[in-house]
A = this chain, B = another copy of it.
Amino acid sequence: MSTAASQGTASKVDLHQIGEVAQRVGLSLRTVRYYEEVGLISPERRSEGGFRLYTEENISRLLTIMQMKPLGFSVEEMRELLDARDALRSPRSQASERQRAAERLLEFAQFAEKRCRKMRKHLAAGEKLAEQLSREGSEQRVEERS
């Protein structure tokens, strides 16, 4: 978590156990394992004893998932998005494949924006509720009328 950025001696790359990872990204251990179960993200490798070991890249993938989650993406949608991104980034994917992936990403961008708009509405409604509750809760009882 300190000791400056290593990059020259990259070989053992800094591997993290699931506990640290879960805490850093704000998920439960169970959820991280579940995301592996459903094919969203796997640890780089396992230790001899079977412990999951994650790279920083693995972690950033989880952080992307954490961006999608509150927007209401399903696990299936997250997987599609991540797959498209992988295809676009992979140096060994064909031009046509890359093209298709780029289109998919744009579709997801639209989708995400739509969800954001909905979320802004929900937020506004939530703020109204909070105000209303605090008014109702602190109102003096002056209801002295037939």
A residues within 8 Å of B by Cβ?
A: 64, 66-68, 70-71, 81, 85, 88, 98, 102-106, 108-109, 112-113, 115-116, 119-120, 122-123, 125-131, 133-134, 136-139, 141
Per DSSP, chain A at the interface is helix
**Residue numbers in B under 8 Å from A141 (CB-CB):** 98
Determine if B123 and A109 form an interchain contact, defined as CB atoms under 8 angstroms apart.
no
Determine if A133 and B120 form an interchain contact, defined as CB atoms under 8 angstroms apart.
no
| Known A-B contacts A98-B141, A119-B119; A105 and B126 likewise in contact (beta carbons under 8 Å) | no
Selected from B109, B122, B128, B134, the residue in CB contact (under 8 A) with A130 is: B109
Selected from B85, B109, B137, the residue in CB contact (under 8 A) with A103 is: B137
